[in-house]
Amino acid sequence: MLEGILIGLSTAFSITNILMVVGGCLIGTFIGMLPGLGPMSIIAIMIPVAISIGDPSAALILLAGVYYGAIFGGSTSSILINAPGVASTVATSFDGYPLARQGKAGKALTVAAISSFAGGSIGAVLLMIFAPALASVALLFHSAEYFALMVVGLSAIAAFAGTGQVIKALLMTILGVIMATVGEGALFNMPRFTMGLMDLQSGFGFITLAMAMFALPEALYLVLDPSRSKTEGGTNEIKDLRITKAEAKAITPVIGRQSIQGFLIGVLPGAGATIASFLGYAVERNIAPKEEQEQFGKGSVKGLAAPESANNAACTGSFVPLLTLGIPGSGTTAILLGALIALNVSPGPRLMIDQPEIFWAVIISMYLGNVILLILNLPLIPYIAKILAVPRNFLIPFILFFTLMGAYIGQNNSTELLILVGFGICATVLRFADYPLAPLLIGFILGRMLEDNFSRSMQLYDGISFIYERPMTLGLLVLAVILVVLPSYRARRARARAEGVADGD
């Protein structure tokens, strides 16, 4: 491990990679601050840039920098104008915006910056400890276990979808799996479902699909629903970034708890930073003393520190399943996985052995990224916050330009543009109908691997006997069933309790 850390250090501290971290964090912070642009859209836009770099470690470092930069930037707009740029900073606005309205915007930004820094750094340490342990177990995995793992990954989406969203999330997942079957499959050397179109022979392009699901609807949504991105003026005067000793003492245990909890939630497939931040907020409110509990929602520093440390730790945590098992835990890591595959890197247990420089450089760059974000966010925040004044008239063409360019550059194929616009419009309609789009992309990415591993296992075992012959496969599949059944069981119980039938606890 020490050797790996040294390789990582030497890779991460090359001039190019430091530039990548700084550039990624800057871009992420700036764009993440803009209302309506989440990390997924930003990363989708940045992928063609990253791929054109060619060096996988530099590309992944850039994208990771953009990722946590976006989460960081999202918290700034949550606090200052109550318009979270990303879903995972919605909880930040609960206490951050009240603080800003009380004229304590500077203090709120400092608390957010420190909590994010601590959450991200603790997350990076935990990643360093967890990932190798998980990877060594994963080396025992055969195709059968990978198949079961993909099933778990797909079911987990249902488990962590919002209330009433389980069916919609599952539908979108299945749609994604279906879309993954277009093109030449693993089983046959012949094209499937291409409708005779030569451009579909190698399947839908992942970048095109990612752009169509996130970046394009984002822009269309801004046009069609102007109220959503309205910036309500607000008094954005930021003075006095200092926090008192008492406040520092109050948030320290919160940061500690939420960094670890956030990381663990981030590791779970399907959860991610948004769940981690809400859960972090809820847990801290429940364990706080009565008088402090009432402060939550009215400008409590604890209520601000909790989601901020949790969401940053969760971002780091979501890299564990991505780097060690090759399964994405969230929409964002799904996009990162697609980018890695496009760069000829296959994440999985072999990554640490075959390409240790990529693995460790990413982890080291996370520390570096957190330091840079702290520097960026503390003294520069009053100036950076000016970007919030960018009118939508400039923002929308900017998003459209980068989306269309990005889809075209990689392949030089104009058909990609037609596919992009077609799916982009479908995705916008789905978004208005409140269908989550991330499950579709996860289904699309996992679908191909699901089929490949399933067909391999079928061949190796001359049938489906691998399901009961391999205990680990069986265990994982049982877990998948529990993940699907549990939310609906809990929903029914909650309904029953609301009717006053069960009040056992």
Asked if 139 touches another protein (CB under 8 A), the answer is: yes
**Taking the alpha carbons of 404, 410, 413, 416 in that order, is the dihedral positive or negative?**
negative
Q: Name which of 54 and 253 has its Cβ closer to another protein.
A: 54
Question: Shortest approach of another protein to residue 183 CB, angstroms?
Answer: 10
Binder among 171, 187, 400, 421 for another protein (CB under 8 A):
187
* Residue window 433-452: x/- pattern of binding to another protein, with contact defined by CB under 8 A: ---------------x---x
Measured CA to CA, the distance from residue 340 to residue 61 in angstroms comes to: 11
H or E segment to which residue 27 belongs: helix 15-33
Q: Name which of 200 and 430 has its Cβ closer to another protein.
A: 200
Q: Name which of 19 and 460 has its Cβ closer to another protein.
A: 460
Binder among 142, 192, 257, 392 for another protein (CB under 8 A):
142
Q: Name which of 462 and 503 has its Cβ closer to another protein.
A: 462
What tokens were used for 24? 């990624």
Binder among 3, 291, 462, 505 for another protein (CB under 8 A):
462
Binder among 163, 242, 412, 503 for another protein (CB under 8 A):
412
Binder among 272, 349, 369, 487 for another protein (CB under 8 A):
349
Question: Shortest approach of another protein to residue 29 CB, angstroms?
Answer: 29
Asked if 356 touches another protein (CB under 8 A), the answer is: no
Q: Name which of 349 and 487 has its Cβ closer to another protein.
A: 349
Binder among 72, 94, 97, 141 for another protein (CB under 8 A):
141
State which of positions 391-410 bind another protein (CB under 8 A).
Answer: 410
DSSP string, 48-102: HHHHHH--HHHHHHHHHHHHHHHHHHHHHHHHHHS--SSGGGHHHHHHHHHHIII
Measured CA to CA, the distance from residue 466 to residue 209 in angstroms comes to: 33
Q: Name which of 47 and 238 has its Cβ closer to another protein.
A: 47
H or E segment to which residue 184 belongs: strand 183-184
CB 327 within 8 A of CB 298: no
Asked if 227 touches another protein (CB under 8 A), the answer is: no
Asked if 225 touches another protein (CB under 8 A), the answer is: no
- Tokens 């990381």 correspond to 263
Directed axis angle between helix 331-342 and helix 39-53, to 10°?
Answer: 10
Q: Name which of 291 and 462 has its Cβ closer to another protein.
A: 462
Question: Shortest approach of another protein to residue 226 CB, angstroms?
Answer: 38
Give Cβ neighbours of residue 484 (< 8 Å, ≥ 6 apart). 155, 158, 159, 170
Q: Name which of 102 and 202 has its Cβ closer to another protein.
A: 202
Asked if 143 touches another protein (CB under 8 A), the answer is: yes
CB 268 within 8 A of CB 318: no
Nearest to 320, CA basis, from 176, 179, 153, 131: 131
- Single-letter residue type at 276: A
Question: Shortest approach of another protein to residue 139 CB, angstroms?
Answer: 6
CB 119 within 8 A of CB 312: yes
Q: Name which of 348 and 439 has its Cβ closer to another protein.
A: 348
Measured CA to CA, the distance from residue 345 to residue 337 in angstroms comes to: 9
What tokens were used for 372? 């840079």
State which of positions 188-217 bind another protein (CB under 8 A).
Answer: 188-191, 198-199, 201-202
State which of positions 21-80 bind another protein (CB under 8 A).
Answer: 51-52, 54
DSSP string, 349-405: TTHHHH-HHHHHHHHHHHHHHHHHHHHHHHHHHHHHGGGGG--HHHHHHHHHHHHHH
Binder among 350, 490, 492, 493 for another protein (CB under 8 A):
350
Binder among 2, 140, 195, 433 for another protein (CB under 8 A):
140
Q: Which residues would be at the binding site for another protein (CB under 8 A)?
A: 51-52, 54, 139-143, 184-191, 198-199, 201-202, 341-346, 348-351, 354, 410-413, 415, 448, 452, 456, 459-460, 462
